[in-house]
Amino acid sequence: MPAPDSRPTMLVLRALKLGDLLVAVPALTALRRHWPEHRIVLATSGWLAPIVELVDAVDELLPTPGLSRPLDVVAGTVDLAVNLHGRGPESGVLLEALHPARLIAHAPDAPDGPEWIDGMLERERWARLVRSAGAPAHADEVGIRIPAVEPPASDAAVVHVGAFYGSRRWPAERFADVVRTLAERGEHVVLTGGAEERERALDVAARAGLPGAAVLAGRLDLTEFAAVIAAARVVVSADTGAAHLASAYGIPSVVIFGPAPPEEWGPPAHGPHVVLTEASLRRGDTFSDEPDPALLAVGVDDVLGALGRLGPGRLIRPPRRAAPSAG
């Protein structure tokens, strides 16, 4: 853990993935605003460091690869411990071991904490928790800083073809149909995803007739990825970190939901975002290798129609016309 300074320490636990971090931003922002005198240390996955640097509420990152090991913190040195990870027993035990002066958590981990409510919007869950501790929080306060790097692509229609689990992978041929249509309409289209998704992205590009240079999947670090999303015209994605970044930057987005309900993980209602799913078919098995039926129920025309509803003429350009010849 970094050497302490003169400020009291607030240790916040959220050792998960990119989207999980971003839905906790409203709570983190509220904690910073209410306790400005504290040094906020976020215990989260070390690979998220480039994104954590963009969250103004956080002073330091404590690399925490899950809940299997004790936190690298000297017991008795933490003033406030905040459980934004979940409810016990694992996360609660880790924080209790620090012997903080005060623990902010759901009951029963903290006897004075609010009861856990299943099915709640995740941003509101954590905003509600810190409100219960006296910190006014707004669930839609999702903004983070734009990276101070030149984006590898800007003013692009970003199509994020990957997802961590197979249950969230919309078929490659459907992505290709969307990409082909966007390109025919004059959009500059780029394809993103992780290194393990580069082959899938190359397949989508080939099906859509795009050059390999349009495939950014596997070529971007997290800072560059965030910069591309922040500079995009529109983002098309399944329920992934890319969609949460679009929310954080207020970029128009179409988000295709499968196993996870948008009522729990969806974008802010006031933003330029369209959610597509078929709740009646949802199987809800996040860890399945097969796409959830709620995801498969979304067709190409559904996505193209949603893109049109985001703002005709501003977001999705009309088909490109040949320039008049000089005469």
**Quick count: other Cβ atoms within 10 Å of Cβ 70?**
11
pLDDT, residue 194, reads: 94
What residues contact 195, with CB distance under 8 A and at least 6 apart? 217, 218
The candidate with the shortest Cα–Cα distance to 310, out of 220, 238, 250, is 250
* Percent of residues, the chain, with pLDDT higher than 70: 94
What residues contact 237, with CB distance under 8 A and at least 6 apart? 158, 159, 160, 243, 246, 253, 254, 255, 256
Q: State the residue for tokens 């692009």.
A: 156
CA distance 128 to 82: 13
What band does 311 get if pLDDT is binned at 50, 70 and 90?
A: low
pLDDT, residue 287, reads: 93
pLDDT tens per residue, range 242-281: 999 999 999 999 999 999 999 999 999 887 999 999 999 9
pLDDT, residue 145, reads: 98
CA distance 258 to 264: 12
pLDDT, residue 269, reads: 86
pLDDT, residue 271, reads: 79
In angstroms, the Cα distances linking 207 to 104, 173, 181, 210, 304 are 51, 7, 12, 8, 17
DSSP per residue over 263-281, as a string? HHHPPPTTSSEEEE--GGG
Q: What is the mean pLDDT of residues 217-222?
A: 97
pLDDT tens per residue, range 119-171: 999 999 999 999 999 999 999 999 999 999 999 999 999 999 999 899 999 99
* Percent of residues, the chain, with pLDDT higher than 90: 90
What band does 88 get if pLDDT is binned at 50, 70 and 90?
A: confident
Indicate the pTM of the whole model.
Answer: 0.93
Q: Is the pLDDT of residue 321 over 60?
A: no
Sign for the CA dihedral angle at 68, 74, 76, 80 comes to negative
Q: Is the pLDDT of residue 114 over 80?
A: yes
Choices 3.40.630.30, 3.50.70.10, 3.30.465.10, 3.40.50.2000: CATH for 157-309:
3.40.50.2000
pLDDT, residue 326, reads: 33
pLDDT, residue 316, reads: 52
Of 98-102, 108-112, 200-204, 321-325, the one with minimum mean pLDDT is 321-325
- Annotated domain spans of the chain: 9-132, 157-309
Q: Is the pLDDT of residue 117 over 60?
A: yes
Check: CB of residue 150 under 8 Å from CB of residue 227: yes
Residue 65 burial by CB count (10 A; 0-12/13-18/19+): exposed, middle or buried? exposed
Q: Is the pLDDT of residue 218 over 90?
A: yes
Q: Is the pLDDT of residue 82 over 50?
A: yes
Mean pLDDT of the chain: 93
Architecture of domain 9-132: 3-Layer(aba) Sandwich (3.40)
CA distance 20 to 186: 34
The conformation of residue 116, written as its DSSP 8-state character, comes to P
pLDDT tens per residue, range 2-33: 455 789 999 999 999 999 999 999 999 999 99
Check: CB of residue 254 under 8 Å from CB of residue 276: yes
pLDDT, residue 313, reads: 46
Q: What is the mean pLDDT of residues 208-222?
A: 97
